[in-house]
Amino acid sequence: MDKNLLNDNLLKKAIAKACDEDYFKFMTSFKGFHIFSREFERDMNVMIKKYNNAVRKAKAKLCYLRYFLISMGIILVVIVIILGVEPLRESFLKLLKELFNTIKAYFSSL
């Protein structure tokens, strides 16, 4: 057997890792599915690296989005609780008014 021939197990692992399960089942359903090229192996490794990088980036973006949404939800709940309690509402609105006036004074002084 030629040394350039990919091992079936390596091929199946590469396809399973790089592609979804349906595509993997489709590709392995053919009898005698062999690849006789090292170029395919190199291309498959490049495709796997790109796929893994894309998955890692997508997971990171989803993680940041999840933390952002959780923090916004917590802030919203705190504001609703503060506005729901009468004594806290007045002090919170005064604080917001002072903050707004401070920001306004800062930008007007520039």
Residues 54 and 29 both lie in one domain = no
Range of the domain at 17: 1-36
| Confidence at residue 101, expressed as pLDDT on a 0 to 100 scale | 92
Flag whether 19 is in a domain.
yes
Alpha carbon distance 82, 48 (integer Å): 51
Alpha carbon distance 16, 18 (integer Å): 6
Residues 65 and 99 both lie in one domain = yes
- One digit per residue, the tens of pLDDT, for the chain of length 110 reads 444 445 556 666 666 666 655 555 555 555 445 454 566 667 777 888 888 888 888 888 888 888 888 999 898 888 888 778 877 788 888 888 998 999 999 888 87
User: Side-chain half-sphere of 44: how many Cα atoms within 13 Å?
Assistant: 17
Domains of the chain: total: 2
Flag whether 41 is in a domain.
no
Residues 67 and 93 both lie in one domain = yes
Residues 53 and 10 both lie in one domain = no
